[in-house]
Amino acid sequence: MITAGSAEVIIYVVSDAAGDTGELVVRAAVAQFHPVQTDIRRAPFVMDVPTLERFVVQAKLSGAIVLYTLVIPHLREAMKNLAKEHQVEAIDLLGSLIESLERQTGRHSRQEPGLNHVLDADYFRKVDAVEFAVRYDDAKDPSGVLKADIVLIGVSRTSKTPLSMYLAHQKFKVANIPLVPEIKPPKELFNVPVERIIGLTIGVPYLNTIRKERLKALGLPNSASYAAEDRILKELEYAEAIMRQIGCVVIDVSHRAVEETASLIMEHFRGV
């Protein structure tokens, strides 16, 4: 239960389409609880049960609520069972209505995700951008930085992945690269036009708190070096040196919501 003064509410929006419908409903609901802080995490284009389970387990670890808009029956049923098995609060946004409409009309639903979208070029650009963000997240394939509209760089837990997904829904192709002192950045990064690169930094105390919460969610002791202030300072100094070398714009994400940081990034690119 969330009480006054406790951490933000985390809500996973799980969908076999883009997840726009679910996120709109969540935002309409949480607006009624202002100023409670919420972290909305999209899980779009989920098409198999193992991926569903991965997000359910993540939700359990973070004490999150799951709202799902799954139109494919076996995924909807799997989500219901997984939520029960892992004791995660899960809300089926579409299932009951689809079943009622099937009874009323005597017809089966088409079971095709995303039919509420107009399948135009704009929509497909968004889908391409989301797929790009997933493919080139966390330097999985460094070649992505050469194809990206935006490249995000920063230490762990500076919101690189959430920002990549948010910007993808604004039709930007985003790749992100973690900066770690023990690992050299990919050589491709230094061949990207500087105006396409955004550095993300954060205050030491704020990052210390975030990392301790992350360790807690994973069931690990918060004494691990990952959350130690001297380790964090070393990582930030290293990252800032790389950013100075590149000469990119740097944004401090301390106390900023993902939406606010994304707005600053989009404003920068409008001016480029």
For position 114, what pLDDT does the model report?
Answer: 54
Residue 99 has pLDDT above 60, yes or no: yes
Task: Name 231's Cβ contacts closer than 8 Å, sequence gap at least 6.
Answer: 225
Residue 205 — φ and ψ, nearest 5°?
-60, -40
One-letter amino acid identity for 233? L
pLDDT in tens, 252-266: 999 888 899 999 999
pLDDT in tens, 127-163: 889 999 999 999 889 999 999 999 999 999 999 999 9
Q: What is the 3-state secondary structure (H, E, C) of the chain?
A: CCCCCCCCEEEEEEECCCCHHHHHHHHHHHHHHCCCCEEEEEECCCCCHHHHHHHHHHHHHHCCEEEEECCCHHHHHHHHHHHHHHCCCEEECCHHHHHHHHHHHCCCCCCCCCCCCCCCHHHHHHHHHHHHHHHCHHHCCHHHHHCCCEEEEECCCCCHHHHHHHHHCCCCCEEEEECECCECCCHHHHHCCHHHEEEEECCHHHHHHHHHHHHHHCCCCCCCHHHCHHHHHHHHHHHHHHHHHHCCEEEECCCCCHHHHHHHHHHHHHHC
- CA-closest candidate to residue 16, choices 41, 53, 52, 54: 52
Q: Could you give the angle at the alpha carbon of 125 between the alpha carbons of 122 and 59, nearest 5°?
A: 110
Q: How buried is residue 81: exposed, middle or buried, by Cβ count under 10 Å (0-12/13-18/19+)? A: middle
pLDDT in tens, 171-207: 999 999 999 999 999 999 999 999 999 999 999 999 9
Residue 171 and residue 122 in contact, taking contact as beta carbons nearer than 8 Å: yes
Among 2-11, 182-191, 211-220, which is the least confidently predicted range? 2-11
For position 2, what pLDDT does the model report?
Answer: 43
The top-scoring range by mean pLDDT among 49-53, 205-209, 244-248 is 244-248
pLDDT in tens, 74-83: 898 999 999 9
Per the prediction, the chain carries an average pLDDT of: 88
Cα 61 to Cα 52: distance, rounded to the nearest angstrom: 14
Cα 162 to Cα 114: distance, rounded to the nearest angstrom: 22
pLDDT in tens, 120-134: 567 778 888 999 999
Residue 46 — φ and ψ, nearest 5°?
-80, 125
Only one residue has tokens 């992350």, namely 214
The two tokens of residue 254 are 């301390």
The two tokens of residue 247 are 């000469």
